[in-house]
Amino acid sequence: MPALKEPDQHLSFAERLLMGTCLLLCCISYTSCGKGSSGTNPPPEPPPSFSFVSLKVDGVFSGYNYYGTSVNPVLRFSFSDKIDRNSIASAFSFSSKAGTAVTFTSTLENGDSAVVLKPSSPLAFLTPYTVSLGTTLTSQKGGKLQSGTSLGLLTQIDSTDKFPAISDNDLLTLVQRQTFKYFWDFGHPVSGLARERNTSGETVTSGGSGFGIMAIVTGVSRGFVSRADGLARMQKITGFLKNNAQKFHGAFPHWLNGTTGAVIPFSQKDDGADLVETSYLVAGLLTARQFFNGAGTDETALRTDINTICNGVEWSWFRKNNENVLYWHWSPNYNWDMNLPIRGWNECLITYVLAASSTAYSIPKIVYDNGWTKNGAFRNGSTYYGIPLPLGPSLGGPLFFAHYSFLGINPNGLTDQYADYQAQVVNHTKINYAYCVANPANNYGYSDACWGLTASDIANGYTASSPTNDVGVIAPTAALSSFPYTPAESMKALKFFYYKLGDRIWKDYGFTDAFSLKDSWFASSFLAIDQGPVIVMIENYRSGLIWNLLMSCPEVKTGMRNLGFQSVNLN
């Protein structure tokens, strides 16, 4: 910087001020422009971020889970800015629930602010998929997406028939024949009893075996096996129950070892008598006794063995100190610790009927009135979906309430001081049906062809499904065992299960236990207590066979009349 001269002493104050200002400006200019300058330019502002605005799948927005979508869905994602085409492939992912990647095409629409995705080939039917969007998506200005998102898709059911069409009558026979195999082909080789489920190995079930005995009678009647073969199987079963099976005051445990007959505990304290399961077994045995009514020595001996087994059940002992109620369990190790009185309304009417029918250990009517009916407190009387319900819990409870006792007890025209039992079971079933059709929980797949809530397997467990415990699982046994009550609705369900879902649920022993369309889950299991009612109740619908047999037992007629029941079948 050149040296500056001192200002002339004779300059005026204004002239001195002007000269100083010029000097200051010169210094500032030199400092900012000279080689020694340390100044920098301000950084450029980053491109603005942008946001996800809306979503449509096949032209519709319904949140972030879509059910019943096309196998060629069109997914449209809209944004607040124009999208850089080159960022789409890395920002979107499309895969099945199992993790298999889905290839897709993408296009830009709406001035490049909407991305439209389509799978390159059709998706699988009734399969869940996930589509995810990450924040690596960029705008044409270079801006970043503020936040990602994801959505779930479940594709539609394949509506094509999985099997050739046959007549309704042939379809009913086919279902009975296939379901019969569970009890015949899969019956335990030593005891002949029914295994609890298709994975149970040595574990056989007393109650499910009672249903299985009714199934064997049906199978003989239908010609699925010969009468001689059916008799031989019944001789094996009764011989095992009489001579090998562990009993407690004549009552059987819930589970037994099919080879040794030893009790298999159902739970820690449930290691002894189960009176309800015993009643299902006895009902089956009495049905077989009435069916195998020939004068030959073999059938006569079978009836004698059945009488020995049934007459040995000490029903009245299960009043526990002579109380006016029956108790469900007794254990040789824990006595009455389970402490579960059998009170209605539920699946246990048959227990009180058979207890009243016993020739040696009968209960009086006061036990039925005070214990089972709770002096009439088991009445309901409310109306659901315009349908009155005489007995039981809100909306009726699981449908096995209308099945288990009524495999042998004919509810048609049956009344007592508390209810019309035909109205009870029919209306309970219609309420269950109406609930599924109304579908207040919005479970995908429920319809007038896909209905029925009852106890069954569910994914990772087991539950008693009902309108008040709806987890989105349909059990085929619910609608199919209701044929006597809702024949048209049950036939529509049967056709849907067989023709539309048959590739998923129609297997070696009939229909598998349960399924959930919303979760694309299909059980691989079969349970004796679910398979039995299917074949038996379809037979009751077709011929009334099992109803006629059990209701023909003289002791059953007497027991039911003593409890106050009235029916033409009791005359």
**Residue 246 to residues 4, 199, 255, 313, Cα–Cα distance (Å):** 124, 23, 10, 12
- Calculate the alpha carbon distances from 217 to 85, 185, 252, 400 in Å: 70, 15, 22, 21
**Are both 135 and 206 inside the same structural domain?**
no
Question: Are residues 268 and 372 located together in one domain of the fold?
Answer: yes
Q: What is the dihedral of CA 440, 446, 447, 448, to 10 degrees?
A: -100
Same domain, 349 and 478: yes
**pLDDT on residue 39:** 55
**The Cα angle at residue 454 between residues 451 and 459, in degrees rounded to 5:** 90
Non-local CB neighbours of 195 within 8 Å, separated by 6+ positions: 186, 187, 188, 201, 203, 204, 205, 208, 258, 528
Q: Are residues 127 and 212 in the same domain?
A: no
Asked if residue 204 and residue 74 are part of one domain, the reply reads no
Tokens of 432: 């269950």
The parent domain of residue 98 ranges over: 52-155
Alpha-carbon distance of 194 to 565, in angstroms, equals 32
pLDDT digits (tens, 9 = 90+) for 456-491: 999 999 999 999 999 999 999 999 999 999 999 999
**If residue 486 lies in a helix (H) or strand (E), which one and from where to where?**
none
Q: Could you report the per-residue pLDDT of 111-123, keeping only the tens digit for each?
A: 999 999 999 999 9
Q: Is the pLDDT of residue 364 over 90?
A: yes
34 lies in a domain? Answer: no
User: What tens digit of pLDDT does each residue of 218-261 get?
Assistant: 999 999 999 999 999 999 999 999 999 999 999 999 999 999 99
Instruction: Supply the CATH number for residue 393's domain.
Output: 1.50.10.140
- Report pLDDT digits (tens) over 192-229: 999 999 999 999 999 999 999 999 999 999 999 999 99
Q: Which two tokens stand for residue 155?
A: 């594709």
Together in a domain, 184 and 319: yes
389 CB neighbour count, 10 Å cutoff? 25
Answer whether residue 419 is part of any domain.
yes
Q: Are 505 and 561 in contact (CB under 8 A)?
A: no
Is residue 406 within 8 Å of 418, Cβ to Cβ?
Answer: no
Q: Within a domain: residue 20?
A: no
**Token pair of 272 as six digits:** 């002894």
Region 51-58: mean pLDDT is: 96
Same domain for 237 and 135: no
Higher pLDDT, 26 or 106: 106
Query: What tokens does 281 get?
Result: 């077994």
Q: Which of 103, 129, 155 is the last residue of a domain?
A: 155
- DSSP code, position 332: T
pLDDT digits (tens, 9 = 90+) for 351-361: 999 999 999 99
CATH number, domain at 115? 2.60.40.1220
In a domain, 367, yes or no: yes
Helix (H) or strand (E) segment spanning residue 464:
strand 461-464
Asked if 426 and 518 sit in the same domain, the reply is yes
Rounded to whole angstroms, the Cα distance separating 452 from 465 reads 9
Q: Is residue 45 part of a domain?
A: no
User: Does residue 6 lie in a domain region?
Assistant: no
Of 557, 556, 509, which Cα lies nearest the Cα of 199?
Answer: 509
Q: Give the number of domains in the chain.
A: 2
SS3 percent helix, strand, coil of the chain, rounded to 5, is: 40, 20, 45
What's the rounded Cα separation, in Å, for the pair 408 and 323?
A: 27
Pick from 415, 379, 354: nearest CA to 565: 415
Residue 22 belongs to a domain: no
End-of-domain residue from the set 155, 184, 214: 155
Coil, helix or strand at residue 437: helix
Do 513 and 466 share a domain, yes or no?
yes
- pLDDT at residue 44, rounded to an integer: 77
- Relative to beta strand 92-96, strand 104-109 is unpaired
- Do residues 236 and 271 share a domain? yes
SS (H, E, C) 121-179: CCCCCCCEEEEEECCCCEECCCCEECCCEEEEEEECCCCCCCCCCCCHHHHHHHHHHHH
Boundary of a domain, candidates 100, 129, 155: 155
Q: Is 143 domain-assigned? A: yes
Rounded to 10 deg, the angle between the 349-357 and 275-291 helix axes is 60
- 123 and 184 in a single domain? The answer is no
Is the domain of 560 the same as that of 420? yes
